[in-house]
């Protein structure tokens, strides 16, 4: 028999469903949440509820936002004809904080991964293809520079075949196997500046 009360074990198991949270971390968090002042602990639950209620994917770029279109898509100072394709909203934030991209974004919502059983049809590729038919002059693919990111980039290029819109990729200044999220802003800015045609290796 486990000495852990049932409801505490349930909390541990729920926390373990979060990405990157293993049993030890989940146990530490759970014990903290039941020991902390009630208002403080429940404010976590409230914040989850509020974010869930307010945040929707932007109908243009699919980034999570409280308004639709999101502030970036709605900004008249951004060049709406330049679209940077990223895997996740976290990658968008990384590029955005580098200040190097003056266009808009398209969030795929993940990456094609045979290991995780994610096929191209779960990504927002159709929406992207639809979108580029309305006055887009360049799509730059900024998937992460690893095997799955490269594979995902091929799916993006394939989805845009026949649209006539040039597809570029970030320059190889991005170290292979690296993640956009953890890149220095200057490296990211350089990779964007030196982006290249997706068809020439």
Q: Which one, 69 or 166, has the nearer CB to Zn ion?
A: 69
* Residue 190 near residue 171, CB atoms below 8 Å: yes
Other CB atoms within 10 A of residue 110 CB = 15
Specify whether the backbone of 58 is left (phi greater than 0), alpha (psi in -120 to 50) or beta: beta
Query: Cα–chain-centroid distance for residue 151?
Result: 16
Minimum CB–partner distance for residue 107 and Zn ion (Å): 8
Minimum CB–partner distance for residue 8 and Zn ion (Å): 41
Q: Which one, 67 or 114, has the nearer CB to Zn ion?
A: 67
Minimum CB–partner distance for residue 171 and Zn ion (Å): 25
* Residue 144 near residue 128, CB atoms below 8 Å: no
Minimum CB–partner distance for residue 183 and Zn ion (Å): 22
Q: Which one, 58 or 94, has the nearer CB to Zn ion?
A: 58
Other CB atoms within 10 A of residue 83 CB = 25
Residues in contact with Zn ion by CB under 5 A are 58, 60-61, 69-70, 73
Minimum CB–partner distance for residue 195 and Zn ion (Å): 21
Minimum CB–partner distance for residue 87 and Zn ion (Å): 16
Q: Which one, 70 or 89, has the nearer CB to Zn ion?
A: 70
Q: Which one, 70 or 94, has the nearer CB to Zn ion?
A: 70
Q: Which one, 103 or 145, has the nearer CB to Zn ion?
A: 103
């Amino acid at each position: 028999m486990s000495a852990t009360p049932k409801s505490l074990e349930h909390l541990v198991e729920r926390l373990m469903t979060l990405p990157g949270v293993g049993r030890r971390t989940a146990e530490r968090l759970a014990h903290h949440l039941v020991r902390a002042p009630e208002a403080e602990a429940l404010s976590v639950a409230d914040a989850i509820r509020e974010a869930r209620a307010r945040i929707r994917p932007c109908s243009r770029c699919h980034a999570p936002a409280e308004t639709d279109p999101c502030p970036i898509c709605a900004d008249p100072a951004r060049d709406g004809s330049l679209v940077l394709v990223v895997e996740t909203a976290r990658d968008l934030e990384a590029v955005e904080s580098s200040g190097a991209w003056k266009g808009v974004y398209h969030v795929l919502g993940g990456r094609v991964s045979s290991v995780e059983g994610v096929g191209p049809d779960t990504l927002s590729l159709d929406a992207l293809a639809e979108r580029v038919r309305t006055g887009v002059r360049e799509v730059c693919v900024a998937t992460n520079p690893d095997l799955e990111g490269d594979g995902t980039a091929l799916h993006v290029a394939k989805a845009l075949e026949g649209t006539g819109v040039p597809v570029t990729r970030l320059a190889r200044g991005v170290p292979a196997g690296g993640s956009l999220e953890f890149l220095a802003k200057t490296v990211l800015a350089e990779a964007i500046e030196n982006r290249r045609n997706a068809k020439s290796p």
